[in-house]
Chains A and B, each alone.
Chain A
Amino acid sequence: AQKITQTQPGMFVQEKEAVTLDCTYDTSDPSYGLFWYKQPSSGEMIFLIYQGSYDQQNATEGRYSLNFQKARKSANLVISASQLGDSAMYFCAIPKTGGTSYGKLTFGQGTILTVHP
């Protein structure tokens, strides 16, 4: 069965500094991807970034980048130049792309990020 783990319940960062949010996964699918979402206190889910397992370069979207290390089965989110508006809950998620349960998208437990001024 697939498993996705976020080991940091909470993280704190100073405004304008970079922060790394950890995500490790376990999957038997030969091809897969990793998503990151943000959930501010207002409750909506906001897509941030995606990378597929066969992508050669780490994905970047503005201040967000994915540090994908397949050998370690980790796909950490790096937020550069943190802003107060980055304070939110962050989730990583992995889809089931083969075999039974094809189509499931499983989320990690989440990390609450607090940006201090």
Chain B
Amino acid sequence: NAGVTQTPKFQVLKTGQSMTLQCAQDMNHEYMSWYRQDPGMGLRLIHYSVGAGITDQGEVPNGYNVSRSTTEDFPLRLLSAAPSQTSVYFCASRKGAYNEQFFGPGTRLTVL
């Protein structure tokens, strides 16, 4: 099992550009989430999903879109990048509400 994979590992964008952060898991987990982590800070939930076709907003959803067309994939789209979106982005998945959450290695995004 590859676990949770994220691409790219690093990305630099200019203000106003759009891009998609990819996330995939091969553990057949129903729950998937996207978090952002700013330097020295905790994890803030952007969007999450409890199954294919079901998504919901977290604490900081503005400027981001998600979709969940398959169990395996949960891409995060930045619509129009802003410097405030400079952060490390983690994708995570787990089997159910009470189960351990597995994290991807993170994507370090810089918006100039």
Q: Which B residues between 41 and 90 are near A, CB-CB below 8 angstroms? A: 41-45, 48-50, 56, 58-59, 88, 90
- Those of B13-59 within 8 Å (CB) of chain A: 31, 33, 35, 41-45, 48-50, 56, 58-59
8 new A-B contacts at CB < 8 Å, known A33-B97, A105-B92 = A45-B90, A47-B102, A95-B98, A102-B50, A103-B50, A105-B31, A105-B101, A107-B43
Chain B residues, CB < 8 A from A47: 100-102
Instruction: Output the nearest chain A residue to B51 by Cβ-Cβ distance.
Output: A103
Q: Residue A70 at the B interface, CB < 8 A? A: no
For the complex formed, measure the closest distance between the CB of B92 and the CB atoms of chain A, giving whole angstroms. Answer: 8
Q: CB within 8 Å of B: which of A39-69?
A: 43-45, 47, 50, 52
Minimal Cβ-Cβ distance residue in B for A105: B101
Fill in one digit per residue for A58-96: 1 if any B CB lies within 8 Å of its CB, else 0.
000000000000000000000000000000000101011
B90 — which chain A residues lie within 8 A by C-beta? 45
Flag if B105 contacts A105 (CB, 8 Å): no
Chain B residues near A102: list those with CB within 8 A.
Answer: 50, 97
Please give, as numbers and ranges, the residues of chain A lying within 8 Å of B44 by CB-CB distance: 107
Across the interface, which residues of B come within 8 angstroms of A110, CB to CB?
Answer: 41-42
Q: How large is the interface on A (under 10, 10 to 19, 20 to 34, 35 or more residues)?
A: 20 to 34
Q: What's the minimum C-beta distance from A50 to chain B, rounded to whole angstroms?
A: 6
Q: Measured between C-beta atoms, what is the minimum distance from B102 to chain A in Å?
A: 8
Report yes or no: A103 in contact with B43, Cβ–Cβ below 8 A. no
Interface string of B88-108 (1 = CB under 8 A from A): 101010100110111101100
In contact, B100 and A101 (Cβ under 8 angstroms): no
Nearest Cβ in chain A — how far from B35, in angstroms?
Answer: 8
Instruction: Please determine whether A104 and B42 come into contact, CB atoms closer than 8 angstroms.
Output: no
Decide: B42 and A91 in contact? CB cutoff 8 A: yes
Is A27 part of the contact surface with B, judged by Cβ < 8 Å? no
Instruction: Tell whether A105 pairs with B45 under 8 Å between CB atoms, given A33-B98, A43-B106, A97-B98.
Output: yes
State which of A44, A101, A103 has its C-beta within 8 Å of the C-beta of B105: A44
